[in-house]
């Protein structure tokens, strides 16, 4: 059989309600906003979608399986810590990110002023140059109905490191 190309693609999606009284953590950064994503962890829909894309590309189930909602260990967990855990799983199966692309839809907060910071933070965690982590912000034009949400779509490309000399 012809060997398959040593690259994998994964898709992730997440959505959280935006509610008062929650820190607005998106893409690993705490942003100034009157509402924040509800959730068991910090509700960071951007990192949640990204992690599902990474896990999907690696064939490693999904976020809910790795970090179950009913497990008290993940109560209020930082999604950056969960991302580090996901990256450790990728290393175990000898895969590494090549590039990721993110689309975030919300009416609040405005993402444009924070886009460069989020890209830099995520790129640093993934061990990638900033131009390999893209982030696009969209508004819903209030088309999401009376319930305000933040929604993120993510794609991630991974490479297999199995044949690399010195791969850990």
Closest to Zn ion by CB, 14 or 151:
14
Among 8, 14, 57, 125, binds Zn ion (CB under 5 A): 14
Closest by alpha carbon to 93, among 10, 1, 2?
10
Closest to Zn ion by CB, 48 or 125:
48
Task: Show the binding pattern over residues 49-88: x = contacts Zn ion (CB under 5 A), - = does not.
Answer: ----------------------------------------
Q: Which residue is nearest to Zn ion (CB)?
A: 48
Closest by alpha carbon to 107, among 134, 135, 153, 145?
145
User: Rounded distance, CA 74 to CA 65, Å?
Assistant: 12
Closest to Zn ion by CB, 134 or 149:
149
Q: Give the number of residues in contact with Zn ion, rule: CB under 5 A.
A: 2
Options 46-54, 100-108, 125-133, 154-162: segment touching Zn ion (CB under 5 A): 46-54
* 153 lies in the binding site for Zn ion (CB under 5 A): no
Q: What angle do CA 36, 151, 44 make, to 5 degrees?
A: 45
User: Rounded distance, CA 160 to CA 166, Å?
Assistant: 13
Dihedral sign for Cα atoms in the order 67, 73, 79, 81 = negative
Closest to Zn ion by CB, 4 or 73:
73
Options 3-11, 13-21, 97-105, 152-160: segment touching Zn ion (CB under 5 A): 13-21
Q: At closest approach, how far in Å is the CB of 45 from Zn ion?
A: 5
Among 8, 22, 48, 119, binds Zn ion (CB under 5 A): 48
Burial code (b: 16+ CB inside 10 Å, e: under 16) for 98-137 equals: bbbbbbbbbbebebeebbeebbebbbebbebeeebbbbeb
Rule CB under 5 A: which residues touch Zn ion? 14, 48
């Amino acid at each position: 059989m012809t060997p398959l190309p040593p690259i994998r693609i994964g898709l992730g999606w997440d959505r959280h309600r935006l509610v008062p009284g929650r820190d607005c953590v998106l893409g690993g950064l705490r942003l100034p906003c009157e509402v924040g994503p509800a959730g068991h962890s910090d509700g960071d829909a951007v990192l949640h979608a990204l992690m599902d894309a990474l896990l999907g590309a690696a064939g490693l189930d999904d976020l809910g399986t790795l970090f179950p909602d009913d497990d008290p260990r993940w109560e209020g967990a930082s999604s950056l810590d969960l991302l580090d855990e996901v990256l450790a799983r990728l290393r175990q199966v000898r895969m590494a990110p090549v590039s990721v692309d993110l689309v975030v839809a919300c009416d609040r907060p405005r993402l444009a002023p924070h886009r460069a910071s989020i890209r830099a933070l995520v790129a640093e965690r993934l061990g990638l140059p900033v131009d390999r982590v893209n982030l696009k912000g969209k508004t819903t034009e209030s088309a999401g109905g009376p319930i305000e949400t933040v929604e993120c779509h993510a794609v991630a490309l991974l490479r297999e490191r199995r044949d690399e000399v010195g791969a850990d």
